[in-house]
Chains A and B, each alone.
Chain A
Amino acid sequence: MANYFNTLPLREKLNQLGVCDFMENDEFLDGVNALKGKKLVVVGCGAQGLNQGLNLRDSGLDVSYALRKEAIEQKRDSWKNATDNNFKVGTYEELIPTADVVINLTPDKQHTAVVSAVMPLMKQGATLSYSHGFNIVEEGMQIRKDLTVIMVAPKCPGSEVRAEYLRGFGVPTLIAVHPENDPEGKGLAQAKAYCVGTGGHRAGVLKSSFVAEVKSDLMGEQTILCGLLQTGSILSFDKMVEKGIDAGYASKLVQYGVEVITEALKHGGVSGMMDRLSNVAKIKAFKISEELKDIMRPLFQKHQDDIMSGEFSSTMMADWANGDANLLKWRAETGETAFEKTPAGDVKIGEQEYFDNYTLMVAFVRAGVELAFETMVEAGIKPESAYYESLHETPLIANTIARKKLFEMNRVISDTAEYGCYLFDQACKPLLADFMKTVDTDLVGKNFNEGKDGSVDNAELVAINEILRDHQVEVVGRKLRKAMTAMKSIKTA
């Protein structure tokens, strides 16, 4: 199988990268009708599979689960999840031939095996749905020409997809139709109906393409979302310990700090996050984040280039073929870092303290979000797509770090994201070595405002505020966030 993107002429590459349409509410007035009465068969019953299926059924659709024979015979968790909720469960052979829509919600790595097994059983003119395009775009899976291929990707963990639905809301969702597989022209209508069925239409839907989704998703997860949060967390912790800050305090500040700081990002974008700092601290954070952007830009560009050329995916797939040797080794190394091994101390850290004592992370996040966004947009990805894969997802990933540090982040994200995260982390740490020598505890560990009188140059502050607010990620973000009206308040541990 050849990399699909690389088989395209440049004009078609640009064309597919540029698919990006933030859909209006009135585009969903047809509700779930395009799927009403159709047989939906979900393959896989993990967190996404189960929770999406529960939502789709509660929206009046006919849902059942196809599992591998062994999973059924051995009554594995996926079988229990489906049967305990009274879903019909059967083998591929039993259920796939009757399916009008086959919804593939297995882990990325299994896609080739699953799709190869399922495709011959699918009936003429049926639809195959993905939630991530890696298999189509990077692995180049060829789908039978009579089948329609769509993507529906809720941009949140499975439990969140269910929780938001039951509140009467939903999670932001990305949909796409594969241009090589839309023989009857029904793909978009079905993807929209699917989205209504999971509640996604209430929280903002972005129409994208398989190509744009994959190329932006990989870039986001490797750089700002996982890579930089990992690097920033480890460097911050090590710096505090080096400077004599209590290790328990340092561990807690880092573990929960990213979550609190990026919650502000979720509500008010980069400028909203920066506004949580005092004026003096904001000016400082601005200056060091500018410096960080200069240092890290070539690394962000390298990641984007390797993603576009297929270099990244072919390297990673070689590691898959090698029994994940590199992935497992790097995972073990991350588990051995001092930050990972130091439990959070039993100290109360107030919400504002996470900003005042962790100015460095604010600078890291601003630099990372803007760099990832800028690099994606320069590579032909539309700003709305770039926003989702950078700023929007950062708080979601930060939330996993708050739960159980980097271990939890790397457990929850896909193996693909994890692999890219380690690549970034290994290259980024040496790059920042000189910069980190200039960092003291006023930026990480202690209150930046301490011993300063708080006065700033007005003209400088005004200029900085303008630069922050006029950045394209902010302009796009303000529009998109309006659609996602239900925001939860900032939590503090």
Chain B
Amino acid sequence: MSTSIVQISNLNLKYGNKAVLRDLEWTIQAGENWLLTGLSGSGKTALLKAIAGIEKSTDEIVVSFDKQSSARPVCQYIAQWYQFKNVEGVANFYYQQRYNAQQVQDTLTVNAELAHYAKENHLNLPQAEPILEALGFAPLKNAQLIELSSGEHKKLQLVKALWLKPQLLLLDQPYTGLDIQSRQNLNNLLDEVTSNGVQTILISNETEIPACINRYAEIVDGQLEEHFTFCSRKEIVIEDRPIPEFLHQAPPSSSETLIKMVGVNINYGEKQVLKNVDWEIKAGEKWLLQGHNGSGKSTLLSLINGDHPQAYANEIYLFGNKRGSGESIWDIKEHIGLISPELHWYFDFNATVWQSIASGFFDSIGLYKEIGWHKRTQVDELIEYFGLTANKNDLLAQLPLGKQRLVLLARTVIKNPELLVLDEPCQGLDAHQTLQFNTLIDGLCTTNRTLIYVSHSDDQLPKNLTHQLLLSKGEVIHNKIYKKREELESVI
């Protein structure tokens, strides 16, 4: 009897009308843990979903579980995109809702959600404890789901998967939004479960992978190509595309000091999210903002973007005006080109690529205005630059996540803003797209444009960073001229 757990023969799959997998063959033997790579849109997600039997099951894939195993005889797919619902079972939330304090409890707490999950899957609550500890999730147990940051949602998704112990665990970009320590811990957890009857297939572009991975494959032109080690067949070559003319010159700065925060405190009930934060950004500076999940990065940025109601109770100066002195949030947003995981999550997926990019002129989520000829040509030029011309009339919902992200990145720069706020901009992009985007950022961030860049990883950064702010548990622990992590760690 064969000991294969997955047997795929002659698999053909389409994404929309485009064939992505052609006559794909793949056998996964017992004890194997695979890393699956490939360019954005190459069909990685489609392949894992097909194995998990999501969308439709096909005869070409046979999954056979081990009846003797202590792990659960199921195949669990963990999507790159987290989902959560309110108490009525509807996933109807809006951008930055979590910052608007409302007494009506809309979503479950983490604890209640875990209890619910335990009941549904006949699991023991205490068994989740070590996993919660390892991912640093324990302090969040009383938080409401709506209050979690994108990285924290990702962790909750992983906690559930590891707790379930499925025989086949399919992880689609599980490191998305996780801080460095959590990545390490996740890898340790994966090593542990894989030695206890769980097998995994991991989609990731990261270089830090768990030790348990013992097979490597890449999807190339719709077929599986096996490698003997972690590498990509293709050398990354980026095309030397000229940056559109209208982005060459950053607009003059509105003031010498763009952002100034004095002793900023933000509390949610008893919980203090930002403690006595001072931060000053002068025009032309390029900042790297870092910190562990839950350290307060997103909250800090929401104060700059005019998205946080508690900004009104703090001493904050934006673009030369004191916050709460009669400016509207739209007056603030006008200066900023913003991308963040949350903006992506809450975006209007029924907007076309073209509309989504054009909406960046008005900082709206979706386009509600006619725009003139001059701006239309700029949208077209930028679409061309990002290589999205063929997709220009597609709905966002029809594109893979990496392409969606590119669209929103184009939206971020379309109005040629004086300040770019890029919160994990390259999430979901493949190595090629990341390099291409960072090249653009380097080109855009010449002398007088200001940049705030958030990234957990150190190897995908723009070149010309000048300053760094490091947050830990809501406090600034480092605020100075930019240094690489190794140098920084020796400082602490």
Contacts and interface: CB of A to CB of B under 8 A. Distances in A.
Interface stretch (B215-223, B229-237, B305-313, B458-466): B305-313
B327 interface: yes
A57 B312 contact: yes
B100 A162 contact: yes
Given A37-B326, A166-B94, A167-B94, A489 B350 contact: yes
B368 A404 contact: no
Count class of interface residues, chain B: 20 to 34
A3 interface: no
Contact of A58 (B97, B329, B348): B329
Contact of B310 (A77, A85, A162): A85
B491 interface: no
Contacts of A323: none
B101 A81 contact: yes
Interface string A138-168: 0000000000000000000001001100111
Nearest to A62: B326
Given A58-B328, A404-B88, A167 B309 contact: no
Interface string B359-375: 10011111010000000
A168 B310 contact: no
A90 to B, nearest CB: 16
A489 B362 CA distance: 22
Interface in A39-76: 47, 50-51, 54, 57-60
Interface residues of A, number: 32
Contact of B95 (A37, A166, A202): A166
Interface string B79-101: 00000000010100011110011
A308 B431 CA distance: 69
Contacts of A84: 101, 103, 269
A403 B310 contact: no
Interface string A30-41: 001000110000
Nearest to A82: B101
Contact of B100 (A59, A85, A486, A488): A85
Given A58-B329, A167-B366, A168-B363, A85 B309 contact: yes
A85 B101 CA distance: 6
Contact of A81 (B95, B102, B330, B364): B102
B352 to A, nearest CB: 13
Interface in B301-343: 306-307, 309-310, 312-313, 326-331
Nearest to A487: B350
A86 B348 CA distance: 29
A86 B312 contact: yes
A169 B364 contact: yes
A446 interface: no
Nearest to A168: B364
A59 B331 CA distance: 9
Contacts of A86: 309-310, 312-313
A80 interface: yes
A202 B368 contact: yes
A36 B310 CA distance: 21
A426 interface: no
B336 to A, nearest CB: 14
B88 to A, nearest CB: 5
Given A86-B310, A167-B348, A59 B366 contact: no
Nearest to B95: A166
A317 B90 CA distance: 36
B100 A54 contact: yes
A307 B169 CA distance: 63
B299 to A, nearest CB: 14
A47 B94 CA distance: 15
Contacts of A352: none
B368 A485 contact: yes
Contacts of A57: 309, 312
B368 A168 contact: yes
Nearest to A489: B350
Nearest to B365: A167
Nearest to A86: B313
Contacts of B348: 167, 486
A54 B309 contact: yes
Given A85-B310, A168-B368, A404-B88, A60 B103 contact: no
Grouping DSSP codes into helix (H, G, I), strand (E, B) and loop, the A interface class, with mixed when no group exceeds half, is helix
A50 B96 contact: no
A488 B350 contact: yes
Contacts of A169: 364, 366, 368
B326 A58 contact: no
A50 B97 CA distance: 13
A163 B310 CA distance: 18
Interface in A80-111: 80-81, 84-86
A21 to B, nearest CB: 22
A138 B449 CA distance: 59
Contacts of A159: 94
A163 B348 CA distance: 12
Contact of B368 (A58, A59, A486): A486
Contacts of A32: 328
B359 A168 contact: yes
Given A85-B100, A168-B363, A169-B364, A59 B350 contact: no
Most interface-central of B97, B327, B328 (chain A CB within 10 A): B328
Most interface-central of B97, B103, B329, B365 (chain A CB within 10 A): B103
Nearest to A484: B368
A37 B327 CA distance: 11
Contacts of B88: 403-404
A488 B348 CA distance: 9
A403 B94 contact: no
Most interface-central of B100, B104, B313, B331 (chain A CB within 10 A): B100
Given A167-B348, A169-B366, A36 B326 contact: yes
Contacts of A162: 94, 97, 100
Contacts of B310: 85-86
Nearest to B88: A403
Interface in B150-194: none
Contacts of A54: 100, 309
A85 B330 CA distance: 19
Contacts of B101: 80-81, 84-85
A168 B328 contact: no
Contact of A60 (B96, B326, B359): B326
Nearest to A84: B101
Contact of B103 (A58, A77, A403, A404): A77
A257 to B, nearest CB: 16
Nearest to A402: B90
A488 B366 CA distance: 11
Interface in B204-243: none
B31 to A, nearest CB: 37
Nearest to A60: B328
Contacts of B366: 167-169, 486
A192 B178 CA distance: 46
Interface in A161-204: 162-163, 166-169, 202
A249 B362 CA distance: 45
A121 to B, nearest CB: 25
A9 B100 CA distance: 48
B322 to A, nearest CB: 12
Given A80-B103, A168-B359, A404-B88, 12 more contacts: A51-B100, A59-B329, A60-B327, A78-B103, A81-B101, A81-B103, A84-B101, A84-B103, A86-B312, A163-B94, A202-B368, A486-B348
Which 7 pairs between the two chains have the least Cβ-Cβ distance?
A: A168-B364, A84-B101, A163-B94, A86-B313, A77-B103, A167-B365, A60-B328
23 contacts: A37-B326, A50-B102, A54-B309, A57-B309, A58-B306, A59-B328, A59-B330, A60-B326, A80-B101, A86-B309, A86-B312, A162-B97, A162-B100, A163-B97, A166-B307, A166-B365, A168-B363, A168-B366, A169-B364, A403-B90, A486-B368, A488-B350, A489-B350
Interface of A: 32, 36-37, 47, 50-51, 54, 57-60, 77-78, 80-81, 84-86, 159, 162-163, 166-169, 202, 403-404, 485-486, 488-489
